[in-house]
Structure 1
């Protein structure tokens, strides 16, 4: 009887490009409302669910297959954030009935944003040892959640709301660049778009 075994290695494509594209799209649309360029959130909801949530969840699942704990946690964490935000907006719009609208306390979102600020801070430390484009994205996300947290608690609302708005737009711009770099660098087999070396502080 033969006891030979064959090991099959399955290689998955880097999912960070689609994850960053999803992040870039949803923050572009959402920041337009915070900056006063558009009004309402009804047309942000589909982008929050499909680009902010599902695209990043897809990236998280595929990063887990690559044994990438950091990528899985980052994309997964923010995917579920956008699911929760989309449902929060739907509650506020009355999709689930007036009783839920009447029961809203926006400070609860403030505590949720505070939790994500804590999450993002330690993820920012991890991003320092990936590359500088990713670090920049996380650094801007820190300011987004700082602004969202403070504005939700009505602390210097005008200023903190603006901080969140401009940080979100910055996230979109840098994420588009990061997505492009992930696609084109792999496609051309060289550093077509530089992303910057890790800081090298912790490794």
Structure 2
């Protein structure tokens, strides 16, 4: 009688993958810079729309999905959400500029009012992500802090524009222009964080550009993730 040996299948070891966080931060930074430059009134309008769809939108969304592969709950949530932010905003602007939707909304001041509520909704999301980013490092915390200021200023600016019945441009509403400059600072901080992570990855995880320590290191709460956003892969 043949003897059948019982064997247990062992799961294949996961292959190492690159950290998608620098890509996600870079996509967010460049798109934010272009839109913020328009809000600050020195970059022409609509220059940012293509970037919103493909770089800040699609590429950042992909970075979020790759963070799922790395079991990074914070990074996957942040990048996927803001990828959706840029895709939604870009498509909305295209519809408003090329269809009857634009004329309908502009006549009722709904365009500015709708953008204000859009920004406020993301500011609510950004607020709790700002709190949890204090457990990562100072650079990532700085991105969410400056972004919080940007979103609040822009939301107020669009509400003011809707109330006054004026076009929501940085030249006519001071809050929008201020939000534009705050967004430029946000982009600069995000670019710095991206550059720091790229350089660290090229040096086997050793930090070259300082990103600062976590502001909150308590273990009372857990993100349910194996690796935090901004933490380079260990040397292999």
Establish whether TM, by shorter chain, passes 0.5.
Answer: yes
Equivalent pair of 1:143/1:163 in contact (CA under 8 Å) = no
Alignment of structure 1 residues 184-199 onto 2, 5 Å:
184-189=199-204, 190-199=206-215
Deviation, 1:53, is 0.6
Aligned to 1:145: 151
Deviation, 1:151, is 1.0
Equivalent pair of 1:16/1:179 in contact (CA under 8 Å) = yes
Aligned to 1:53: 57
Aligned to 2:185: 170
Aligned to 2:231: none
Higher radius of gyration, 1 or 2: 2
List alignment gaps of at least 5 residues for structure 2. 165-171, 220-236
Alignment of structure 1 residues 92-171 onto 2, 5 Å:
92-94=96-98, 97-98=99-100, 100-104=101-105, 105-106=110-111, 107-154=113-160, 158-171=173-186
Deviation, 1:202, is 4.2
Distance 2:94 2:124 in 1: 26
Please, which of 30, 39, 47 is the counterpart of residue 35 of structure 2? Answer: 30
Instruction: Please report the RMSD computed on the Cα atoms of aligned residues, expressed in angstroms.
Output: 1.6
Residues matched between the structures, number: 199
Q: Which moved more, 1:31-40 or 1:110-119?
A: 31-40
Listed one character per residue, the Cα deviations across residues 119-158 of structure 1 (whole Å, up to 9, x for unaligned) are 0000001110011000000001101110121111117973
The normalised TM-score by structure 2 is 0.80
Deviation, 1:40, is 1.6
The normalised TM-score by structure 1 is 0.92
Aligned to 2:26: 21
Deviation, 1:159, is 3.1
Equivalent pair of 2:41/2:177 in contact (CA under 8 Å) = no
Aligned to 2:84: 80
List alignment gaps of at least 5 residues for structure 1. none
Aligned to 1:89: 93
Distance 2:184 2:76 in 1: 24
Tell me, what secondary structure is at the counterpart of 1:154? helix
